[in-house]
Amino acid sequence: MSDAAFADDADPFAEPLDPLGDRPAMSERVLNQDEIDSLLGFDLGDDDGSERSGIRAIINSALVSYERLPMLEIVFDRLVRLMTTSLRNFTSDNVEVSLDNISSIRFGDYLNSIPLPAILAVFRAEELDNYGLLTVDSNLIYSIVDVLLGGRRGTAALRIEGRPYTTIERVLVQRMVEVVLADARAAFEPLTPVHFNLDRLETNPRFAAIARPANAAILVKLRIDMEDRGGRIELLLPYATLEPIRKMLLQQFMGEKFGRDNIWEGHLATELWTTETEVRAVLDEQQLPLSQVLDFKVGDTLMLNATPDSEISIRAGTIPLTIGRMGRKGQHIAVRVEAPINVEAATSLTKGKR
């Protein structure tokens, strides 16, 4: 039989044979180009890249998903109220401060998104041992200079591009930044004492690097309006700066004390003051061979290297507290304390008991 006759007699509905064997070949579905682009998040027709999906959205994600810090929102809300009052006193004008939003962002992405020209104030949080960044945009810079130098109302602030900021402009902005940092210290005061000290002013974002580009940070955008003038202030705090007070920031609002329980503090202090501690008066210490100690018998006499005028160590366990002198009071042997109590040793003893 010829090959053509065999082909004519073949069943047209039979599954195709595997070229490497007699088993039917498995059918595989091949993705087309549109499905591949959708999976990877690439869309050639979308140039702005505002909304990405798929794997590309994971790789190029600029926002950082971090846990919510309820107490931090309360601190910044308090900061807005304080800044409204302090900037009114600073400018002698009607100032309105509003909180735009609080978001998480990578530090490198924020530096690339700063609209220039701007002044960047690098400040140090002393108690947190780290840095933060305060950005003042050009609109607010020219507005604050215009207000402080007596500019007339109803006219837009003159904005001259292509030149560096003058010394007068930098000094006036520095004074405003110091006012904002003082308000930030007052806003954190009910939670924890933090002093924000201005370190330097920069106009180039590359010189204001206070963290690695991939590090996460909290970005707070504030809007300042002075009638027909105003601008924006952006406060950036890296998560590394907030890490020492992270547990406090996770608390829910419980009155002005921010979750602090005075009743428990008083109860703990009362219990500590009434705690009994065994105190020993040590006349002398000697080191003897174990064989000599095992030969001790009833009636043996131990000679101590101490005289009636020798100092006596007063101890709590193995911790020396103070020294004293041996004496008698009535029918009792007494020890008179000759030096103040060692506060550090007593504190370590108290921590050990807790």
Whether residue 199 is found in the same domain as residue 227: yes
The confidence score (pLDDT) of residue 163 equals 72
Domain count, the chain: 2
253 pLDDT above the threshold of 70? no
Q: Which of 206, 231, 262 is the last residue of a domain?
A: 262
Is the domain of 241 the same as that of 311?
no
pLDDT-derived band at 184 (thresholds 50, 70, 90) equals very high
**Residue 210 pLDDT > 60:** yes
Residue 271 domain-assigned (yes or no)? no
Whether 83 is in a domain gets the answer yes
Pick the last residue of a domain from 231, 262, 293. Answer: 262
Higher-confidence residue: 98 or 12?
Answer: 98
Q: 68-86: buried (b, 16+ CB within 10 Å) or exposed (e) per residue?
A: ebebbebbbebbbebbeeb
The more confident residue out of 60 and 47 is 60
Amino acid 48: pLDDT: 45
Q: How confident is the model at residue 159 (pLDDT cuts 50, 70, 90)?
A: low
**Does some domain include residue 58?**
no
Contacts of 312 (CB under 8 A, 6+ apart): 281, 282, 283, 306, 323, 324, 325, 326, 335
For residues 322 and 244, membership in a common domain is answered with no
343 confidence band (pLDDT: 50, 70, 90):
confident
The gap from C-alpha 344 to its chain's centroid, in whole angstroms, comes to 30
In terms of average pLDDT, the best of 17-31, 149-163, 291-305 is 291-305
Assess whether 82 and 230 both reside in one domain: yes
Q: Are residues 197 and 315 in the same domain?
A: no
Residues 280 and 239 in one domain: no
pLDDT of residue 173: 92
Q: Is 235 among the domain residues?
A: yes
Reply yes or no on whether the pLDDT at 66 is more than 60. no
- Whether residue 38 is contained in a domain is answered as no
Phi-psi region for residue 156, left (φ > 0), alpha (ψ -120 to 50) or beta? beta
Together in a domain, 172 and 311: no
Mean of pLDDT over the chain: 79
Q: Are residues 94 and 227 in the same domain?
A: yes
Name the 3-class secondary structure at 61. coil
Domain match, 281 and 258 both? no
Q: Find out whether 240 and 106 touch, Cβ atoms under 8 Å.
A: no
In angstroms, rounded to a whole number, what is the distance separating the alpha carbons of residues 14 and 6? 14
The residue written with tokens 């308090």 in the block is 78
Measuring CA to CA, how many Å separate 19 from each of 2, 8, 12, 26, 149? 21, 20, 17, 11, 88
The answer to the question of residue 242 being in a domain is: yes
If phi over 0 gives left and psi between -120 and 50 gives alpha, with beta otherwise, what is residue 347?
Answer: alpha
Confidence band of 256 (pLDDT split at 50, 70, 90): very low
Question: Does the predicted TM-score (pTM) go above 0.85?
Answer: no
DSSP state of 157: P
* 258 in a structural domain: yes
Instruction: Kindly state whether residues 236 and 334 are assigned to the same domain.
Output: no
| pLDDT for the residue 181 | 94
Tell whether 110 and 216 lie within a shared domain: yes
Query: For residues 232 and 223, what is the distance between their CA atoms, to the nearest angstrom?
Result: 5
Q: Is it the case that residue 207 has pLDDT exceeding 80? A: yes
User: Facing residues of 134 across strands?
Assistant: 121, 235
**Per-residue model confidence as pLDDT tens digits over 109-145:** 898 888 888 899 999 999 888 999 999 998 888 888 8
Over residues 315-336, the mean pLDDT reads: 85
Q: Are residues 281 and 252 in the same domain?
A: no
Q: In the Cβ-directed half-sphere of 149, how many Cα atoms lie within 13 Å?
A: 13
Instruction: Say if CB 87 and CB 182 are below 8 A apart.
Output: no
pLDDT over 50 (residue 293): yes
CATH classification of the domain holding 239: 3.40.1550.10
Show the domain range for 341.
276-285+307-353
- Token readout for 27 is 């059918």
